[in-house]
Structure formats: C-alpha cells, structure tokens
C-alpha cells in the first residue's frame, strides 16, 4: 500500500480514506486487528491479511486547500489526481436511489452505507452532511474493567463496557466473545497495565466477583443484537479496538 502511494505523480496532498481487509467479499474490522499497530508486517502476515486503502475525499493538493470546494467536485479532483490500481482504490458512489442501495447493501451483509451531501464542504467534526446508516447494531464502548478467565482461557474472561452520559461512565454490560487466543493475551497485557483500584463507572450494581477495574483509556468496537429494557447490551461480540476514537467522545448512539 505504501508503495502504491509512492508511485503516484501527486507528491503533495492530504487525502481522506480508510484501510480495509476482506473476509470473502465483506470488509472485516475484526480481521484487520492483526495489521493494526504493525509498522513492519512480515511477508506471512501481509499474505494472510492483505489490506487496501480506499480514498473517499481530498483536502489538499499541490499547494491548494480545497476543503471549501463542494464534495462532488473534490471527488472529481480525487479521481483524476491518482492512479487507482493495486492496493489503492477509489471509493465509488451513487447519486440517486439511496434507499434501494442501502437495502441491497444490507442483503449483501455489508456494515452499512454513508450518505453524504454532495454540496458539503469538508469539516473535521461530526456533521449532518455525513450520515451513517448501519445494517447491524454496532458502536464503540469504553472498557472500564475485566473479569478473571475461567478454565483454560487466558488473559481475561470478559470486558466490562460503558459509554459516557455527560461526564459519567454508564455501565452497558460485558462482552466475552469475539476473541482468539492471541488477542486474549495481547489485550490482557494492555489491561493489566491500566489496572486501578477504583471503578470508573458511575453507578453501583456492577459485577464484583473476580473483577478488575481499569482506567477508561481503551475503546472497543462492539456488535450486538439490541439494547435491553434495562439499558444493557444483548448478545454483544467484540469486533476490535478503536485507536481513532477518544474515550470521552463515546456516547450511546440512537
């Protein structure tokens, strides 16, 4: 992927995009975990988990700041400025029939779609001009603790999850699925370094037996079926760590 960028004629640019890997025909955030934070991946890892860089926006090109140019024109500049081949890909879009496209995406097992205002400028914050429509229930949660492993399991048993309501970390339940042996070990080591004697959660009524509290520094991506009437996650599964999200920005999504 780095080689594909170095081969471009454009040498001065700032682009926005996303690095992905696939499980069959579907992008897999869980599979991508093996490549995250790996500066110099060995050949075997590159072969097992190949990645692609999908560019979807352009902010700066050859001394020109184009963030105030409408999105539809920024994408035209983006398409013409790069040679999209190999691991570098252009993110295609459609201009009409968005609802039908969303339904088709869900039938294919996609995570969802992003709807963008073609006349919007580029801003570095959440905006109503870019809306995410998910096919499955999924969002980020802050890790506030973990339980002891049982049986032959290593690392930890389950993660205790929460989200912020104002300045209070609200308990949302625990997740114990979605981990392989290597991830249990690596994440267990991270959690051990964050241990604290005080619970970061605001309320009482939390699990207490075999529980270890951690400083709320890690953010996890979690898939689940629904919220219970009591405000807890039903059938949660761990998808991966998020390194691009600040814990204090994690709230319950509607």
What is the C-alpha to C-alpha distance for residues 121 and 123, in angstroms, rounded to an integer? 6
Mean pLDDT of 176-194: 93
Question: Would you identify the CATH topology of the domain 138-249?
Answer: OB fold (Dihydrolipoamide Acetyltransferase, E2P) (2.40.50)
pLDDT of 172 above 90: yes
Q: Is residue 185 within 8 Å of 146, Cβ to Cβ?
A: no
Task: Write down the domain spans for the chain.
Answer: 2-134, 138-249
Give the tens place of pLDDT for each residue, 89-98: 999 999 999 9
CA atoms within 13 A on the CB side of 40: 0
| CA dihedral angle for residue 169, residue 194, residue 126, residue 173, rounded to 10 degrees | -40
In this prediction, residue 77 carries a pLDDT of 97
What is the C-alpha to C-alpha distance for residues 96 and 86, in angstroms, rounded to an integer? 29
pLDDT of 1 above 80: no
**204 or 182: which carries more pLDDT confidence?**
182
User: ∠ at Cα 29 (31, 36), nearest 5°?
Assistant: 70
Mean pLDDT of 37-43: 88
**199 or 9: which carries more pLDDT confidence?**
199
Q: What percent of the chain has pLDDT over 70?
A: 100
Give the tens place of pLDDT for each residue, 198-215: 999 997 778 888 999 999
* Paired tokens of 3: 């080689």
Mean pLDDT of 186-207: 91
Calculate the average pLDDT of the chain. 92
Provide the whole-model pTM.
Answer: 0.66
Rg (CA), the chain: 20
In this prediction, residue 154 carries a pLDDT of 87
pLDDT of 35 above 80: yes
List, in order, residues 6 or more apart from 142 with CB less than 8 Å away.
Answer: 161, 162, 163, 164, 169, 200, 216, 218, 219, 220, 247, 250
The three-state secondary structure class of 161 is strand
Q: Is 165 left (phi over 0), alpha (psi -120 to 50) or beta?
A: beta
**204 or 226: which carries more pLDDT confidence?**
226
Give the tens place of pLDDT for each residue, 41-74: 999 999 999 999 999 999 999 999 999 999 999 9
In this prediction, residue 61 carries a pLDDT of 95
In this prediction, residue 6 carries a pLDDT of 83
pLDDT of 182 above 80: yes
What is the C-alpha to C-alpha distance for residues 13 and 173, in angstroms, rounded to an integer? 43
Q: What is the CATH number of domain 2-134?
A: 3.30.470.30
């Amino acid at each position: 992927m780095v080689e594909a960028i170095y081969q471009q004629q454009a040498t001065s640019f700032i682009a926005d995009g996303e690095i992905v890997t696939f499980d069959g025909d579907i992008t897999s955030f869980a599979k991508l975990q093996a490549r995250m934070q790996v500066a110099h991946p060995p050949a075997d890892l590159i072969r097992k988990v190949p990645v692609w860089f999908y560019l979807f926006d352009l902010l700066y090109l050859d001394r020109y700041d184009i963030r105030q140019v409408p999105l539809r024109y920024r994408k035209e500049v983006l398409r013409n400025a790069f040679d999209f081949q190999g691991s570098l890909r252009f993110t295609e879009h459609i201009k009409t029939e968005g609802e039908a496209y969303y339904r088709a995406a869900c039938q294919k097992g996609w995570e969802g779609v992003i709807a963008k205002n073609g006349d919007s400028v580029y801003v570095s914050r959440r905006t109503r001009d870019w809306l995410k429509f998910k096919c499955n229930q999924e969002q980020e949660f802050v890790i506030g603790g973990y339980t002891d492993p049982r049986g032959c399991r290593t690392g930890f048993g389950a993660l205790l999850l929460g989200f912020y309501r104002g300045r209070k970390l609200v308990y949302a339940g625990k997740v114990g699925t979605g981990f392989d042996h290597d991830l249990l070990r690596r994440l267990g080591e991270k959690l051990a370094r964050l241990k604290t004697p005080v619970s970061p959660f605001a309320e009482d009524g939390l699990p207490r037996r075999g529980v270890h509290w951690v400083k709320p520094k890690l953010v996890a991506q979690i898939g689940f079926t629904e919220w219970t009437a009591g405000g807890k996650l039903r059938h949660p599964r761990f998808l991966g760590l998020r390194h691009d999200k600040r814990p204090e920005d994690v709230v319950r999504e509607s």
